[in-house]
Structure 1
Amino acid sequence: MDRRELALFLRSRRERISPADAGLPAGTRRRTPGLRREEVAQLAYISTEYYTRLEQARGPHPSREVLAGLTRALRLDDAERAHLHTLAGMPAAPPPGPPREVRRSILDLLHRLPQAAAIVTSATLEVIAWNDLAAALMTDFSAVPRRDRNLVRRAFLGPQLFGVSDVEEFRVHATVKLRTAAARYPDDPEVSALIAELRSGSPQFAALWSAHDVTTAPVLVKTFQHPQVGPVTVNCDALDIADRDQNVVIYTAEPGSPAEETLRLLSVIGTQRMDVPR
């Protein structure tokens, strides 16, 4: 518990909130910016003496209930709530499960990359958003059930992982990612069920899981064996969306390469089968 930093943080958050923000009358003899200590204590359902001691860096170790009350009273956002818990020496409880909602700005970004195939994956490597070129290169994710959009499940249990050249390396990477997700969301039943399914259905996953590895080298280039246009070699870059625990994965071809022409062709034909007569 960092009492000094906790005291400074509480005071700074208190001083930024107006009485009107908290639904309190402003009064006429207010000498301090923001709320008074007794007002924060009232909103947090703790005694004024207790809160005053916290702001004076001489308070006891606050409980989770006290921290929840302070979070509510001081109108803290998620990042501030996490920081409050860290200063109090009590890490915030993890969110219930991996976020699956993709921000509108990220969805717009995917569709502003017409020459790149791009997907968004969750913490468990479920594909939760994609653009048209990604659907043409990999699979039409809108046409497959949600369970088959999970790349870890596809890598170990099928259906096939889009004919990628680095499937063995990806299996190692996917296991590491899933272990990280399991540690971050220990109470999420979907994460636990996925791990149990993979351990019982794939001896290779079970062996990799037992190794307890938590690092892996990124694969920067991979080749997709497309059933209609043949091999497509692309660069692979992953961008973190830290606040959502998601990744934007972008596949691009080297300028002037055969793959660039192939991606251009795929962007035109989309997900239609080339061997079906019109």
Structure 2
Amino acid sequence: MMTERTNGGRRRRDELAAFLRSRRERIAPEDVGLPPAPRRRTPGLRREEVAQLAGVGVTWYTWLEQGRPINVSTQVLDAVSRTLRLDTVEREHLYRLSEVAAPPEPDVVSALSEDVRAIMDRLGPLPAVVSNARSDALAWNDAYATLAPWVTGAPEGERNSMWQFFTLPPCCNPCSNLDEQVAENVAMFRYRYVRNRDDPEFQRLVERLVEASPRFAELWRNQDVAVPQPCQKDFLYPKAGLIATRTTGFDVSARPGTRLVVYTFVDDGSRANFERLLADPTLARPDHTH
């Protein structure tokens, strides 16, 4: 086991060195305001030039590129990222190779490609939502907004299906099979959590859920984990009827950890009830307020 960890650390350091070297070699001195140097053994910037432009010590940057065990802050990595003109994916890659907590996610909503938005819209009556690993709803089509207005209409910061599942009062929670699905949903949620343990927002969400929901806290303590897979989610709106669906997730390659979740109807009755709801979204409104 120790040998595996040692080998893994060596491979990470080698990859970090190769990555940083390749990024600085693609930048010409004149690209960053430095005078061109005709006699260079290798293309691109030298280590000392990267250090100077990033505002860090030459020795420190050399050790970073060599993968030595040094203290690395997010501020310094951001400075190196800007100097090397890293894009969002490259910046995140640098963080992971440096074994520093991943940087905050960029504005995924604005970064979603027009293709993804077009796909959601063309799905027509099938509800679809783009979610991140935390189950935040980032973008959705009209059908999803009709099926889950308690998610899309929630205040910013609470448009999260897990949060809504566990904090909505029972009288206002339309998830009729929640008791059957809740243990599996939490197990799949833990699967994504473990793979994003460096995300402070994910950690805060879990802490909030544990505090807000005794049921979630109980299931979280069980330590169950399951690979995300299609599952059945049933929604009961008394004025529209039961809408039984199956969810299927598709990874969005433009942003790792982001997925397009599509809801299909289990039977014709569910499809008809949803069409009724789609024609009159007010049927999803509860008959009381809190």
Give the TM-score normalised by structure 2: 0.70
Shift of 1:206: 2.0
Residue pair 2:230, 2:249 contacting (<8 A) in 1 also: no
* Whole-angstrom CA distance in 1 between matches of 2:268 and 2:243: 10
Q: Per the alignment, do residues 235 and 146 of structure 1 end up closer, same or farther by CA in structure 2, a change over 3 Å counting?
A: same
Displacement after TM superposition at 1:166 (Å): 4.5
Alignment RMSD (CA, Å): 3.9
Alignment of 1:1-278 (within 5 A): 1-2=9-10, 3-30=13-40, 32-46=42-56, 60-64=68-72, 67=77, 69-87=79-97, 90-96=98-104, 101=109, 103-105=111-113, 106-139=116-149, 141=151, 143-146=153-156, 149-159=159-169, 160-174=172-186, 176-177=188-189, 180-181=192-193, 184=197, 187-188=200-201, 192=204, 194-215=205-226, 218-241=229-252, 243=255, 245-253=257-265, 257-267=268-278, 269-273=279-283
Which consecutive residues of structure 2, in runs of 5 or more, have no partner in the other structure? Answer: 1-8, 286-290
1:227/1:20 Cα in 2 relative to 1: closer, same or farther (>3 Å)? Answer: farther
Following the alignment from structure 1 to structure 2, what is the Cα–Cα distance between the partners of residues 40 and 200? 46
Identical pairs, percent = 35
Alpha-carbon contact 1:125-1:174 (below 8 Å) kept: no
Shift of 1:32: 3.5
Indicate the SS of the match to 1:124.
Answer: coil
Which stretches of structure 1, 4 residues or longer, exceed 6 Å deviation after superposition? 52-55, 97-100
1:16 CA displacement? 0.8
Cα separation, 1, equivalents of 2:29 and 2:163 = 52
CA deviation after TM superposition for structure 1 residue 52, in Å? 6.2
Highest RCO, 1 vs 2 (Cα 8 Å, sep ≥ 6): 1
Matched-pair contact (CA < 8 Å) for 1:161–1:167: no
1:41-96 deviation digits (Å, cap 9, x = unpaired):
322445556666777x6x74443156555434322234333444554xx4122335
Give the partner amino acid of 1:246.
Answer: T
Instruction: Please state how far the C-alpha of 1:116 moved relative to its aligned partner.
Output: 0.9
Following the alignment from structure 1 to structure 2, what is the Cα–Cα distance between the partners of residues 245 and 99?
A: 14
Distance 2:159 2:57 in 1: 51
Q: Say how many residue pairs are matched.
A: 267
On the 8 A contact 1:148/1:154 being kept in 2, the answer is: yes
Larger displacement relative to structure 2 (245-254 or 216-225): 216-225
CA drift of 1:184 comes to 2.8
* Secondary structure in structure 2 of the residue aligned to 1:93: coil
Q: List gaps (5 residues or longer) in structure 1.
A: none
CA distance in 1, matches of 2:106, 2:193: 8
Higher helix share: 2
Counterpart residue identity of residue 250, structure 2: L
Residues in 1 aligned to 2:37 and 2:212: alpha-carbon distance in whole angstroms: 67
CA deviation profile, 1:224-254 (whole Å, cap 9, x unmatched): 3233332233331122346364332211236
> Which amino acid in structure 1 is aligned with residue 146 of structure 2?
A
How far is the alpha carbon of 1:36 from its aligned partner?
Answer: 3.3
Question: 2: distance between equivalents of 1:85 and 1:210?
Answer: 30
For 1:70 and 1:47, the matched residues in 2 are separated by 12
